[in-house]
Chain A
Amino acid sequence: MLNIKLNPETNIYEPETKTRHRVATALLIVVFFILPFVLAHLGRTGVYWIWVTTEIIIMSLFAMSLNLILGFGGMVSFGHAAFFGVGAYTVALLMKKAAAPLLLALAAAPLMAAVAAVIIGWFCVRLTGLYFSILTLAFSQLLYMVAFQWYTFTGGDDGLHGVPRPDFLSPTNFYLFCLVIFLICVWLMRMLVNSSFGLTIRTIRENMDRAKFIGVNVRFYQWLNFIIAGAFAGLAGGLFAQLNRFAQTEFLHWSRSAEPILASLVGGMYSLMGPTVGSAFLMCLRIVLQQAHKGLVEYWAIILGLILLVMVLFAPGGLIGLVQKIIKKKNG
Chain B
Amino acid sequence: MAADILRVEKLSKSFSGRLVIDNLSFRVAEGELSAIIGPNGAGKTTLFNLITGYHVPDSGKIIFNGQNIAGLQPFKTVRLGLARAFQRTNIFPKMTVLENVVSACITRQERNLNFRTPYKKLTQIHQRAYEILDSVGLTAMAQRLSGTLAHGNQKLLDIAVALALEPRLLLLDEPTAGMSPDERWQTVALVKDLWERLKVTMVFIEHDMDIVFGISQKIRVLCYGNLLAEGTPKEISNNLKVIEVYLGEKPMMDEAC
Contact check, A195 vs B103: say whether CB atoms are below 8 A apart.
Answer: no
Q: Give the distance to chain B from A25, nearest Cβ to Cβ, in Å.
A: 16
A31 on the interface (CB 8 Å rule)? no
Given the interface contacts A195-B119, A196-B112, does A11 sit within 8 Å of B95 by beta carbon? no
Distance A150 CA – B81 CA, assembled complex (angstroms): 53
Contact check, B161 vs A195: say whether CB atoms are below 8 A apart.
Answer: no
- The stretch of B142-150, B175-183, B229-237 in contact with A is B142-150
| Chain A positions within 8 Å of B84 at CB level | 213
Q: Give the distance to chain B from A202, nearest Cβ to Cβ, in Å.
A: 7
- The stretch of B86-94, B184-192, B202-210, B212-220 in contact with A is B86-94
Contact check, A203 vs B90: say whether CB atoms are below 8 A apart.
Answer: no
| Chain A positions within 8 Å of B42 at CB level | none
Contact check, A215 vs B79: say whether CB atoms are below 8 A apart.
Answer: yes
Contact check, B83 vs A13: say whether CB atoms are below 8 A apart.
Answer: no
9 extra interface residue pairs, beta carbon distance < 8 Å, beyond A202-B103, A216-B112: A12-B143, A13-B96, A194-B120, A196-B113, A199-B103, A207-B90, A210-B90, A213-B90, A214-B107
Given the interface contacts A11-B148, A199-B106, does A214 sit within 8 Å of B165 by beta carbon? yes
| Chain B positions within 8 Å of A11 at CB level | 144-145, 148
Distance A220 CA – B144 CA, assembled complex (angstroms): 30
* Dominant secondary structure of chain A at its interface with chain B: helix
Q: Give the distance to chain B from A199, nearest Cβ to Cβ, in Å.
A: 5
Contact check, A191 vs B145: say whether CB atoms are below 8 A apart.
Answer: no
| Chain A positions within 8 Å of B10 at CB level | none
Q: Give the distance to chain B from A207, nearest Cβ to Cβ, in Å.
A: 5
Distance A218 CA – B96 CA, assembled complex (angstroms): 21
Q: Give the distance to chain B from A205, nearest Cβ to Cβ, in Å.
A: 9
| Per-position 1/0 for A193-213, Cβ under 8 A of B | 011111110110011011011
A206: contacting residue among B79, B93, B102, CB under 8 A: B93
- The stretch of B20-28, B32-40, B70-78 in contact with A is B70-78
Contact check, A214 vs B78: say whether CB atoms are below 8 A apart.
Answer: yes
| Per-position 1/0 for B111-146, Cβ under 8 A of A | 111111111101000000000000000000001110
Contact check, A206 vs B75: say whether CB atoms are below 8 A apart.
Answer: no
| Per-position 1/0 for A214-252, Cβ under 8 A of B | 111110010000000000000000000000000000000
| Chain A positions within 8 Å of B91 at CB level | 207, 210
B102: contacting residue among A4, A195, A199, CB under 8 A: A199
A interface, size bucket: 20 to 34
| Chain B positions within 8 Å of A209 at CB level | 54, 90
Contact check, B114 vs A215: say whether CB atoms are below 8 A apart.
Answer: no
A6 on the interface (CB 8 Å rule)? yes
Distance A284 CA – B106 CA, assembled complex (angstroms): 42
Q: Give the distance to chain B from A188, nearest Cβ to Cβ, in Å.
A: 9
Contact check, B92 vs A206: say whether CB atoms are below 8 A apart.
Answer: yes
B52 on the interface (CB 8 Å rule)? yes
Given the interface contacts A195-B119, A196-B122, A214-B78, does A203 sit within 8 Å of B95 by beta carbon? yes
Contact check, B104 vs A191: say whether CB atoms are below 8 A apart.
Answer: no
Contact check, A197 vs B75: say whether CB atoms are below 8 A apart.
Answer: no
B174 on the interface (CB 8 Å rule)? no
Give me 21 A-to-B residue pairs in the complex whose CB atoms sit less than 8 angstroms apart, sorted by A's number. Answer: A11-B144, A11-B145, A191-B118, A195-B116, A196-B106, A199-B99, A199-B102, A200-B106, A202-B103, A203-B95, A203-B103, A207-B90, A212-B74, A214-B104, A214-B108, A214-B165, A215-B75, A216-B75, A217-B75, A218-B75, A221-B112
Closest to B80 in A: A215
| Per-position 1/0 for A281-309, Cβ under 8 A of B | 00000000000000000000000000000
